[in-house]
Amino acid sequence: MSEFNCPNCKQPVFSTRDKYFAAKWKILVCPHCEKRVTSQPLILAGYYLLYLMDVIDLGGLAVLTGNMYYLVAMAVIWVILDLFSIYLPLAALRDAGAAQRKEQPLDPAPAEQNAL
């Protein structure tokens, strides 16, 4: 039951469950093109600010007013945010080897200076 397209190969390979976990910062691997995919990081960071506002605002209201219905509202909004998180767009990531190749030092001289 795959209904969401891979941003690389445009094949419908990801399920609703995959999208849900991608919105929890999980990195998915496309079974078709084997590229890494996750939710758009900037949109996801903004989305997590909504979670933060939910907890701080309604949790704070519950503590300040002593009305525990604000905690119920906080839980309901949390569930609604979780349900809408499957609609966050996916983004293709660079291959894992590119980052490792970039970290390799081009000039070994600084390491030798530290050894002396």
Q: How many CA atoms lie within 13 A of 101 on its CB side?
A: 5
Please identify, using beta-carbon distances, which residue of 12 and 41 lies nearer to Zn ion: 12
Q: Residue 110, exposed/middle/buried by CB under 10 A (0-12, 13-18, 19+)?
A: exposed
Check residue 33 for interaction with Zn ion (CB under 5 A).
yes
> Binding residues for Zn ion, how many (CB under 5 A)?
6
- Asked if residue 10 binds Zn ion (CB under 5 A), the reply is no
* Binding of residue 92 to Zn ion (CB under 5 A): no
Residue 8 as a binder of Zn ion (CB under 5 A): the answer is yes
Rounded CA separation 21/36 (Å): 14
- The residues that touch Zn ion, with contacts defined as CB under 5 A, are 6, 8-9, 30, 32-33
